[in-house]
Amino acid sequence: MASASREVHGRLIEALKSFISIVSTRLPDDVLKALRKAYEAEVGGYARLVYQAVFKNLEIAIAKSVPLCQDTGVLEFFIELGRSFPFSIELLKAIGEAVAEATEEGFLRPNVVDPATERNTGNNLGPRIPWIETTLVSGDHADVYLYMAGGGSSRPGSARVLDPAQGLEGLLEYVVNTVVEYGIHACPPLVVGVGIGPTAEVAASLSKRALLRPVGLRSPIPRMAELEEKLERVLDELGIGPQGLGGKKTVLAVHVEYAGRHPATLAVGVSTSCWALRRGHLRIFPDLTYRVLSHGV
């Protein structure tokens, strides 16, 4: 490698590793705010005890620079590449190396298991993992969104194609039943992402995109915003509460993302995040300086 490209590589690794360590050890500002609000809503029982442990945990994680939850998940990157950003290929190539180094340094637990061998790969790299989705946009910088998909919180994930006659009521029933059956084990209060579209995989993919939206930011489309509010109300009424020990808040938020559907299908996808929603937004500028916008860094 020529020295100029070695320098680019080094700076990208440094930016990505710093980003990964921040996401592993600190919650984004919007999630923290939502947790504090949920805590205020709880009046007693085990709910307040759980939140006190949660806030103490978050303080320790920052003070000691350790993963706030031991399940640092499987890493999923969603990248918006500005068409004039000069280091697109270099960025994509640096991700795997940054992930392996962050694992070595104890910011990530080695989670990835190769289904073909049933062995843990030891460095969080595996077939098609970390998962990377790239979109080309205008502009001269790169926006890198990271989601740490934990095991417990990914377990409720599902998608299904409904008949259009089942309508939004059918969709609501599907989401409620999914949360009732699996939500209690997924570290509530949850953020629930709902995707709507023509096919199962589009709906599933959009349900994950819904988790990338800042917590509590409403859909700009009134009918979808109404659906989000209704689902939040209904899911809170279930009384599952933090850690499934009972309480007023079962969800921190419900986000709906959608795509046009086929006249004959109404596909719905559900993705859930635990309260420890570890996601981040890194912006890399053309001069390779960077900011972690999700965490005000």
Partner 1 sequence: MGRVIHLPTSEEEVLSLKVGEVIYVTGLLVTARDAVHARFLVEGVPLPLNLRGLAILHAGPVMVKSGSKWVCRSIGPTTSMRMEYYEYEFIEKTGVKVVIGKGGMGSKTAEACKKFKAVYAVFPGGCGALGAEAVEEVVGVEWLDLGIPEALWILKVNELGPLVVTIDAYGNNLTELVKNSAKARASSIINQLKRST
Least distance (Å) from partner 1 to the CB of residue 126?
12
Least distance (Å) from partner 1 to the CB of residue 155?
7
Q: Note whether 152 binds partner 1 by CB under 8 A.
A: yes
Q: Which stretch binds partner 1 (CB under 8 A): 43-51, 81-89, 255-263, 280-288?
A: 43-51
Closest C-alpha among 97, 103, 153, 94 to residue 124: 103
Question: 32 vs 234, which CB is nearer to partner 1?
Answer: 234
Least distance (Å) from partner 1 to the CB of residue 108?
8
Count the residues of the shown chain that bind partner 1, applying the rule CB under 8 A.
56
Q: Which stretch binds partner 1 (CB under 8 A): 66-74, 87-95, 253-261, 279-287?
A: 66-74
User: CA–CA separation, 168 vs 227, rounded Å?
Assistant: 8
Closest C-alpha among 123, 150, 198 to residue 24: 150
Q: Which stretch binds partner 1 (CB under 8 A): 183-191, 194-202, 210-218, 289-297?
A: 183-191
Residues 195-224: x/- map of binding to partner 1 (CB under 8 A)?
------------------------------
Q: Note whether 144 binds partner 1 by CB under 8 A.
A: no
Q: Note whether 227 binds partner 1 by CB under 8 A.
A: no
Question: 62 vs 288, which CB is nearer to partner 1?
Answer: 62
Please tell me the number of Cα atoms within 13 Å of 204 on its side-chain side: 10
Of these, 12, 20, 31, 68, which contacts partner 1 (CB under 8 A)?
68
Q: Note whether 43 binds partner 1 by CB under 8 A.
A: no
Structure tokens at 163: 């008949």
Name the site residues for partner 1 (rule: CB under 8 A): 46, 49-50, 53-54, 56-58, 60-61, 64, 66-72, 105-106, 108-111, 113, 119-120, 122, 151-152, 155, 167, 169, 172-173, 176-177, 180, 184-187, 234, 237-246, 274-276
